[in-house]
Amino acid sequence: MRRLPAMLWSCLMVAAVAACASSGGAAGSSNAKVKTNVITTAEIDAGGFRDAYDVVQRLRPTWFTKARASSSGSLSGTQVSSGSGGGGVQPSSSGGGLVVYLDNTRMGGPEALRDLPASSISSLQYMDAATATAKLPGLGSSIITGAIVATARSGR
């Protein structure tokens, strides 16, 4: 009879240790965080957005401000629009700025996001200038401040 409480105690200890190992630490808490460099299908579907520009502007407006901040000390020449009408970052005539890609095809500057209906987008990802230059085709030696990469939904 004394074995039963000892076995029960041992089982509870093993369960407690396993529970702590699977839920604690940096790995467990990072899953609860929202990735700030990615907008998922679920986020897009939950918002009732018009286009990809609207998605970014409402869910991750810092993507536009990151590009604006990185361009302030560079020679790439981006212009920040002022007043009403959506704000955002627009490349100047000298090139550079924030670029937009759709499935590895360069679409243009941030205004190209307005041509992508939200319902046709699976995800959006922000890349800083270094990552974008290393991963995206067709940038060559272009000076950019960052990139937004849209992935189209398949079968829609």
Q: Are residues 76 and 104 in the same domain?
A: yes
Look up the domain containing 13 and give its range.
1-33
Q: Are residues 46 and 106 in the same domain?
A: yes
Whether the Cβ atoms of residue 113 and residue 100 lie closer than 8 Å to each other: yes
Q: What is the pTM of this model?
A: 0.64
Distance CA 113, CA 116 (A): 5
Angle at 9 between CA 5 and CA 13, to 5 degrees: 170
| Residues 57-79 pLDDT 10s | 999 999 998 877 665 554 333 34
pLDDT of 71 reads 58
Q: What are phi and psi of 88, to 5 degrees?
A: 100, -170
Read off the CATH number of the domain in which 103 is found. 2.170.130
Q: Are residues 118 and 43 in the same domain?
A: yes
Q: Are residues 98 and 145 in the same domain?
A: yes
Q: Work out how many domains the chain is built from and give that number.
A: 2
Q: Are residues 82 and 5 in the same domain?
A: no
Q: Are residues 3 and 64 in the same domain?
A: no
